[in-house]
Amino acid sequence: MINPLLAGGRWFAQRPLRTQILALTLVSAIVIIGLVGSMSLKNRLQQAEDESVDWAVALSVMAARTAAAPMLEKDYTTLELLVHDLIALPGVQAVTLVRSGAEIAMEARRSLDGSTTAYPINKRVPVPATAFQRDASHVHAYSALMYETGAGQTATFQPELASRYGWIEIEMSYSDRLAAAQHDWITASVLSGLLIGALIWLLSVFLNRVFGPISELAEFAVALTSRPGEVIRMRWGSREVRELGRALNWASQEIATQINQQNQRVTRLRAILDTAADAIIGIASDGTIKSANPAAERIFGVPQDQMVGRAASDFLAGMNTSGLAEAIANGMFFHSTQSRIGKLEINATRHGGTEFPVEVLLGEIPDDTDIRYVCIVRDLSDTKLAEEYLTLYSRAVDCALNGIAITDARRHPQPYVYANPSFCRITGYAAHEILGRDGRILEGPETSPDDLALLANTLQSGGDLTVVLKNYRKGGALFHNKLSVSPVRNADGEITHYINIIEDVSGQIEVKQRLIERTARLNATFDLSPDGFAVFDREGELVTSNPSFRAMVGDIPAWCSLKRFDSWFRTLCEEPDSCRPIEEAIKDRRKDIIAIARPAPKILEREIRKNLGGSGETILYFRDVTHQVEVDRIKSEFLATAAHELRTPLASILGFTELLLHRKYNEERQKDMLATVHRQGTLLQNLIQELLDLSRIEARQGKDFHIVAHRLADIVRNAVEGITNADAGRVVQVQEPMEDLLVMADATKIEQALTNLLSNAFKYSPNGGTVSLRVESAEHEGEPVALVHISDQGIGMTPEQLSRVFERFYRADASGNIPGTGLGLNLVREIAQIHDGDVTLSSQYGVGTVATLRLKLAALTTEEPVTANA
Partner 1 sequence: MRARRLLSSACLLLAVSHSALAQTAGPFSLTLGVVPQFPAVETQRRWLPVTESIGRACSVDIRLEFSTDIPEFEGKFLGGKFDLTYVNPYHAVMAHKAQGYVPLVRDGEKPLKGVLVVHRDSPIKRLSELSGSTIAFPAPNAFGASLYMRALLEREHQVRFSPDYVKTHGNAYRHVVKGEAAAAGGVMATYLAERTEIRDQLRVLYETPGAAPHPLMAHPRIDTSVRRCITEHLTQASPTISTLTAAIQMSQPVKADYARDYQPLEKLALEKYVVHGAP
User: Which parts of this chain interact with partner 1 (CB under 8 A)?
Assistant: 73-77, 80, 105, 116-117, 119, 121
Angle at 196 between CA 191 and CA 202, to 5 degrees: 125
* Residue (120 or 846) nearer to partner 1, CB: 120
Closest alpha carbon to 765 in 851, 688, 696: 851
Contact indicator for 482, 503 with CB cutoff of 8 Å: yes
Closest alpha carbon to 757 in 837, 826, 698: 826
* Residue (73 or 555) nearer to partner 1, CB: 73
CA–CA separation, 310 vs 263, rounded Å? 29
Residues facing residue 470 across a β-bridge: 480
Q: Supply the minimum distance, in Å, between the C-beta of residue 154 and partner 1.
A: 32
CA distance readout (Å), 167 to 103, 106, 119, 147? 10, 11, 16, 10
Backbone torsions φ then ψ of 349, nearest 5 degrees: -115, 125
* Residue (76 or 356) nearer to partner 1, CB: 76
HSE-up of 89 (CA within 13 Å, CB side)?
19
CA–CA separation, 482 vs 496, rounded Å? 23
Q: Supply the minimum distance, in Å, between the C-beta of residue 73 and partner 1.
A: 7
CA–CA separation, 537 vs 620, rounded Å? 12
Q: Supply the minimum distance, in Å, between the C-beta of residue 118 and partner 1.
A: 8
Alpha helices in 276-408 (DSSP H): 294-300, 304-307, 321-329, 381-399
Q: Supply the minimum distance, in Å, between the C-beta of residue 109 and partner 1.
A: 12
Q: Per DSSP, which regions of 432-477 are E strands?
A: 465-472
* Residue (106 or 582) nearer to partner 1, CB: 106
Q: Supply the minimum distance, in Å, between the C-beta of residue 86 and partner 1.
A: 16
Q: Supply the minimum distance, in Å, between the C-beta of residue 161 and partner 1.
A: 24
CA–CA separation, 280 vs 266, rounded Å? 16
Q: Supply the minimum distance, in Å, between the C-beta of residue 115 and partner 1.
A: 10
CA–CA separation, 766 vs 694, rounded Å? 27
* Residue (57 or 105) nearer to partner 1, CB: 105
Inter-axis angle of helices 175-222 and 239-275, to 10 degrees?
50
Contact indicator for 854, 786 with CB cutoff of 8 Å: yes
Residues facing residue 373 across a β-bridge: 283, 364
* Strands 771-780, 732-734: pairing kind: parallel
Q: Supply the minimum distance, in Å, between the C-beta of residue 158 and partner 1.
A: 28
* Residue (73 or 783) nearer to partner 1, CB: 73
Q: Supply the minimum distance, in Å, between the C-beta of residue 69 and partner 1.
A: 12
Closest alpha carbon to 362 in 439, 239, 269, 278: 278
Q: Supply the minimum distance, in Å, between the C-beta of residue 106 and partner 1.
A: 8
* Residue (80 or 592) nearer to partner 1, CB: 80
Q: Supply the minimum distance, in Å, between the C-beta of residue 141 and partner 1.
A: 25
Q: Per DSSP, which regions of 180-338 are E strands?
A: 279-283, 289-292, 332-334
* Residue (54 or 73) nearer to partner 1, CB: 73
* Residue (75 or 184) nearer to partner 1, CB: 75
Q: Give the DSSP per-residue string, 177-195.
A: HHHHHHHHHHHHHHHHHHH
Angle at 772 between CA 766 and CA 776, to 5 degrees: 150
* Residue (73 or 254) nearer to partner 1, CB: 73
Contact indicator for 434, 423 with CB cutoff of 8 Å: yes
* Residue (120 or 197) nearer to partner 1, CB: 120
* Residue (32 or 81) nearer to partner 1, CB: 81
Q: Supply the minimum distance, in Å, between the C-beta of residue 80 and partner 1.
A: 7
